[in-house]
Chains A and B, each alone.
Chain A
């Protein structure tokens, strides 16, 4: 195999940038479990999840020039891309998004734009944090976990969550901000 298991995620992305199909196959093998799990959580059914997952790999292949190699953050780029795509599919199904799906729209709304300053993250390192993340999530209140899930997996905006929970929009905002801040603190503490 051209892109063997010894290669880092960033090196695989470099090969994909030269349209090395073996490298894309390697990326598929590595990332499919996490991406499929995320997409299925968002879209609900297996068939749609598989369809969206295959679209995600087509997007990676087509939009590889949008990936910023200097940031070496394949994991955040991949997961954010998969989430954006899955949320977009669901919004279209629900009639909440009617803009034409063009190449430009894809670049603007689906392909992630990572921060200028971001730490490198690769799948292998992230999977090693599973326990810490589970513990941190478990330490949040039920309400905090719920608003996090509604926003991240359901793609609901603050108004949607407010309607869903029958609480003011300002309360939703503050709950989300507190929830993610707490999560950040817990994970940082666990990493110390």
Chain B
């Protein structure tokens, strides 16, 4: 749109005398025209508001001030809410703690319950990247922990089995031989004890 045409519409707008079609054209020009005459718009806005100062000044009743005060009092809750919102905006955002899932007992773990289907069941709504990351983290972290525990449980079983097999294959023979040597030693000790006892009795009788 030509600058002259825009300025003509500005003149009508500041007087509040613009039809809806021209008003829309001007609104569009404000949004799209790189060379929009903002200075002219400002000058004409400042000019239009000078018209009332040529009027003879009048004054309302003195009670009006109290009436305004009463109206403001009536909207105090609304203002309080705005103030609270403003305060909340100024304060740093509190950290959102993601509730840790309860530790799952090893005995209760069933592989079919904790696989990827659990992830598929979680529908991620249309949210921001930050929110998506949070949702993803909230869902994936517990699953990862459960997977880790399952792996740990499986590894423990395996270790126990390997240890048992090792004990069985390598140490059982040693244990048997140890048991045999213990019984031999026990018999020898008993023989020596009897001999010693006989010698003591012989010496006592001679003396």
Contacts and interface: CB of A to CB of B under 8 A. Distances in A.
Interface of A: 19, 21, 24-25, 28, 32-34, 36-38, 40-41, 46, 49-50, 53-55, 57-58, 61-62, 65, 73, 75-76, 79-80, 83-84, 87, 112, 114-119, 121, 126-127, 129-130, 133-134, 137, 148, 151-152, 155-159, 161, 173, 176-177, 180-181, 183-184, 187
Given A158-B12, A158-B19, A152 B48 contact: yes
Interface stretch (B65-73, B106-114, B143-151, B183-191): B65-73
Interface residues of B, number: 43
A89 B11 CA distance: 23
A39 to B, nearest CB: 9
Nearest to B66: A54
A151 B75 contact: no
Given A24-B72, A133-B54, A180 B67 contact: no
Contacts of A79: 49, 52
5 contacts: A37-B55, A50-B64, A126-B49, A126-B53, A180-B11
B46 A159 contact: no
B18 interface: yes
Interface of B: 8, 11-12, 14-19, 38-39, 41-61, 64-65, 67-68, 71-72, 75, 78-79, 82-83
Contacts, number: 155
Contact of B54 (A73, A112, A134, A156): A134
Contacts of B51: 133, 137, 148, 152
